[in-house]
Amino acid sequence: MNAPQTTKTPAKTAVKNPQRLMQVLLAPQVSEKSTYVAEKNEQVVFRVVGNATKPEIKAAVELLFKVEVESVQVANVKGKQKRFGKMNGRRKDWKKAYVCLKPGQEINFQAVE
């Protein structure tokens, strides 16, 4: 018996559509862990849309913040189980991107007062 042959699709390249790139990054992820990673490894952590690819995230960060990106690591975060009275519920899953900047580059998120 022969297994069905699958054809591989070519790898997706970075999308050059600026409208799409403006929607890829949702927000910076500010936490103790992300602050520690930022200081130690020159990385910045972002919440991104669920279907974002590494090349899209890299292009979006370079476009929005005018910095050079060395690499991108992505993690899918599972939503927490929560209770609402007697009902069990679950928060949404979301995607987090660790963006490693080239040496000498940095992104400052200043609080506006």
- Which residue, 63, 60, 110, is CA-closest to 47? 60
pTM reported for the whole predicted model: 0.78
Say yes or no to pLDDT of 37 above 80.
yes
DSSP codes of every residue in 27-94: EE--SHHHHHHHHHHSEEEEEE-TT--HHHHHHHHHHHH---EEEEEEEEEPPPEEEETTEEEEPPPE
- Residue 6's pLDDT band (cuts 50, 70, 90): low
Confidence of residue 32 (pLDDT cuts 50, 70, 90): very high
- The fourth-level CATH superfamily of domain 18-101 is RRM (RNA recognition motif) domain (3.30.70.330)
Domain boundaries, the chain: 18-101
pLDDT tens for each residue of 66-104: 999 999 999 999 999 999 899 999 999 999 999 999 998
